[in-house]
Amino acid sequence: MNRLPLVAAQPGIWMAEQLSSLPNAWSVAHYTELKGAIDASLLAKAIAEGMMQADTLRMRFAEDNGEVWQWIDEAMLLPEPSIVRVDSHDAAVALMEADLNQNLRVDSGQPLAFHQLIQVGESHWYWYQRYHHLVVDGFSFPAITRQITAIYAAWQEGESTPASPATPFAAVVEEYQRYRDSEAYQRDGAFWA
């Protein structure tokens, strides 16, 4: 196991969650409305493949002597999302809200990444995505979505799986630590102080 420190906004998110009494304060979610002919089974497979390409979605967290560590669980397999049929937009929203309103703290045992395909009509779907903010940020959330979309489109055309554009998280940590040890970090800190 390669233990990695929390970086960038992660320490603040971890601490804020420890101080919060809310069960889902650091969950981020959205849904994308899909209209037209959707091969739900193929999309579900593309979602699982795209999530597996983002190693941060297989992150585990633990505290050891007051220090928080994270590591990629190489054995973790991210499952295909369930495909659910409901009879209305309101029923779909209720399903998504029920997921989002449960205990989603990092230590809850719930998955830190969760997708669901919800069919509300013959050619009308919602693709629901929910993550813990420790594993995605404002850049990676849509990047994961774009990669899943690229995989689905390639597979529909009978093409091979597109290579992942994601940088391995260990490399991100290494780059962040180099920056923290640099003169540029000191200058940036002085500028923003």
Residues 6+ apart with CB under 8 A from 185: 179
CA distance 42 to 37: 12
Question: How many structural domains compose the chain?
Answer: 1
Q: Assess if residue 174 is contained within a domain.
A: no
CA distance 42 to 13: 34
CA 23, distance to chain mean position in Å, is: 18
Q: Assess if residue 128 is contained within a domain.
A: yes
Q: Assess if residue 183 is contained within a domain.
A: no
Q: What is the mean pLDDT of residues 77-82?
A: 96
Confidence of residue 74 (pLDDT cuts 50, 70, 90): very high
Residues 6+ apart with CB under 8 A from 16: 25, 26
Q: Assess if residue 43 is contained within a domain.
A: yes
Domain residues for the domain of 90 are: 26-57+77-160
Q: Assess if residue 169 is contained within a domain.
A: no
CA distance 18 to 151: 37
Give the CATH number, domain containing residue 109: 3.30.559.10
pLDDT tens-digit series, residues 86-139: 999 999 999 999 999 999 999 998 999 999 999 999 999 999 999 999 999 988
The predicted pLDDT at position 185 comes to 85
Q: What is the mean pLDDT of residues 51-76?
A: 95
Nearest to 40 by CA among 121, 99, 114: 121
The predicted pLDDT at position 189 comes to 86
